[in-house]
Structure 1
């Protein structure tokens, strides 16, 4: 049978600027510290090509802060700045013929984003200007009636070695590799099985990641060794809408060893409900419980892997994002509301009560503070969007204590505000 070659080539871009006022974002500032103000910019150019039994995608990305280079420099030479880079470069081979309409089986290889469910554990981290991607192979089996089975594999090396596979897993620059501030995995295997429901989906995840073994020398520097420590995370996710109540629930268990070689047994429990009062307004609440602490030599601190914490634990990124906060875990009680009077405008607000999941040595207190977030989004056109937000963190003495954020003479009232302009053109190819 002859197949007609109908190639599709699309070219799109993005220019996203974000001006931020930071007065305690990520962690409280000392009382004598001054607030920060800057503008960061992400520029992307994406090319996608589809033809018979193959898809191909490339995304070039530049991330920088306005003014980080003097006007006579045309190339960023400091690795910490993470400026011009290749964000995605992948090809997807359709292993089943495209004339088979009820199922697909494909292999996607190369640098790619991985995004599953609500992105709590595996997500593209789009809020961060540089985002997150993986160098991996992804096998995908999907059926027309909503079943899907994905398996991913990755094996990292620092260079083309002549011998051996020892991997220096310390990430370059100022950015941590995992959501919880950990080092980069040496290898990773993932199994994801899901079923699309009428108004939601249910899924099962098993993810194993391995980290290079190491020991510390007399200067406390890492000396990497042959072999790995293996960590395993497994659990289920569910979301669906019943009448006017949108529900979400998930439960995950983590075991094996941490990236530092410590025995691990931890868990995450999450549940929420939103009531749809109308097409314009919904409100509700929920709770997220990330276990923490330790028992003897066993850690009970859950690591939310490679997710998007900005969506969950407060927009000021105090937890699982900008800076560490000890090993006590987190309990997050929250209420959320969203008002959308038109297709072009929406307003959302969140209120959080944060507490340590485990007891912290030297105190019987667990409250880490409260946070209020407010975000407005306006779409001028399909390709031009404006977003503004403000957040305030009401800290406690515990959040600044040595075993949590470790800030001396901290200002416990913190603020953060931003204005973001997102332009995403789609170029016409003739």
Structure 2
């Protein structure tokens, strides 16, 4: 930690005196967001059992965001209230308003330092992303610093988490806040070629272990690359990650994740894609734990919108996901996205003593219509056709229909903009 403090002090000392006191010429904005979403859940995340009943509810995000930028100093402050309609009493004095962003950023000659509560998202968000689908989204309390220009980007992210403590308790981090105690992440992006983009990611997560009397840290490392290549109307994307070190539970790790996607744009209004995702499961014959953990990825975006895999528990079987999608844009940014997933367990599932891997097929339909630039209407419908192995893993009744639908209205205007 001493090195971090010395780095911050050095940055401050290098700031020109006239810039320290200059605040003129800044831009200020205020945005508001109201996002109610109706959902009819007939087996999403957790398949319905024989006597289970479907649920219907409306969740809501109410968010207010403030931003300031004068070229050298930029700041972001965002607060939100997340709830279900009817969840709160009419007279409510509970402290429900939460800051999801509160950061300050200093920028000079492409170098920057950003400190505070902030979203972290790199590459396609499979490892570290900001899941906007979730009403609360996700944030980290961290220091981010690095170099940015049009051709290269190098970021270093450092985090240290703690709960309120007395001097007698030391720095043992009790579960209940962020899932990790320590985090160090390095990310490099190469973007000096109009057809090719490549990046490297290394992340170390330190999980609190032991006791207050004898604390220890379990460190888990994830390293990998993300590659994008464009050939005319064909877009190719692939990534590979390896996980090592120790899990939060202290198990020795050796796990793999890989994915590949090819997308072709036939016309300005029609495109199609095929892809596959591989996440290793735990091989019971191995001395190490082999189930890959996508950590803080945007799982809803990749493994089916019914959130059966990684967005909700399903054991340590791992996953193979072969998928295809068709995207239509018939008029005025109106978008119809139809996707199909064929799921397999990477490790065998035993059903009545018989080894199986096929989990089933999920169909996802999403329709998006921007009413105005700041008002978007979106709806979707999904259905899962699960196998015996799927219901062995997730539970539920294979004779019941498992489906889900949603309708969301996102109102997100900029209500104030000022330059001074």
Tell me the CA shift for residue 342 of structure 1. Answer: 2.3
Residue 299 (1) aligns with residue 318 (2)? no
Give the 3-state SS of the residue equivalent to 2:354 in structure 1: coil
Deviations 1:140-198 (A, max 9, x none): 20124x10100000011111442511011345xxxxx6xxxxxx011100000001242
Tell me the CA shift for residue 412 of structure 1. Answer: 5.0
2:365 aligns with: 374
Deviations 1:295-332 (A, max 9, x none): 344111000011100110000000010x2101010000
Q: Classify 1:167/1:409 alpha carbon distance in 2 versus 1 (closer, same or farther; 3 Å).
A: same
Structure 1 distance, partners of 2:251, 2:31, is 45
2:167 aligns with: 162
Tell me the CA shift for residue 200 of structure 1. Answer: 5.7
1:309 aligns with: 299
Give the 3-state SS of the residue equivalent to 1:428 in structure 2: strand
Q: Classify 1:325/1:273 alpha carbon distance in 2 versus 1 (closer, same or farther; 3 Å).
A: same
1:204 aligns with: 200
Structure 1 distance, partners of 2:322, 2:231, is 23
| Residue number among 62, 65, 77 corresponding to 1:43 in the alignment | 62
Give the 3-state SS of the residue equivalent to 1:298 in structure 2: coil
Structure 1 distance, partners of 2:174, 2:237, is 38
TM-score (norm 2): 0.90
Report if the CA contact (8 A) 2:47-2:396 is conserved: no
Report if the CA contact (8 A) 2:152-2:190 is conserved: yes
| Residue number among 367, 385, 389 corresponding to 1:394 in the alignment | 385
Aligned 1:4-19 pairs, distance under 5 A? 5-19=24-38
Q: Classify 1:411/1:227 alpha carbon distance in 2 versus 1 (closer, same or farther; 3 Å).
A: farther
Residue 55 (1) aligns with residue 61 (2)? no
Give the 3-state SS of the residue equivalent to 2:300 in structure 1: helix
Aligned 1:333-352 pairs, distance under 5 A? 333-352=322-341
Alignment length (residue pairs): 394
Tell me the CA shift for residue 344 of structure 1. Answer: 3.0
Give the 3-state SS of the residue equivalent to 1:359 in structure 2: strand
1:318 aligns with: 308
TM-score (norm 1): 0.88
1:152 aligns with: 157
Aligned 1:233-382 pairs, distance under 5 A? 233-294=222-283, 295-321=285-311, 323-361=312-350, 362-382=353-373
Tell me the CA shift for residue 355 of structure 1. Answer: 0.6
Tell me the CA shift for residue 92 of structure 1. Answer: 0.4
Q: Classify 1:193/1:429 alpha carbon distance in 2 versus 1 (closer, same or farther; 3 Å).
A: closer
| Residue number among 104, 119, 122 corresponding to 1:113 in the alignment | 119
Gaps of 5+ in 1: 78-82, 172-176, 178-183, 216-222
Q: Classify 1:224/1:121 alpha carbon distance in 2 versus 1 (closer, same or farther; 3 Å).
A: farther
Q: Classify 1:109/1:160 alpha carbon distance in 2 versus 1 (closer, same or farther; 3 Å).
A: farther
| Residue number among 18, 38, 48 corresponding to 1:29 in the alignment | 48
Give the 3-state SS of the residue equivalent to 1:253 in structure 2: strand
Tell me the CA shift for residue 26 of structure 1. Answer: 0.5
Report if the CA contact (8 A) 2:27-2:417 is conserved: no
Report if the CA contact (8 A) 1:155-1:188 is conserved: yes
Off by >3 Å, runs of 4+ in structure 1 = 1-4, 408-412
1:135 aligns with: 141
Gaps of 5+ in 2: 1-15
Structure 2 distance, partners of 1:275, 1:88, is 37
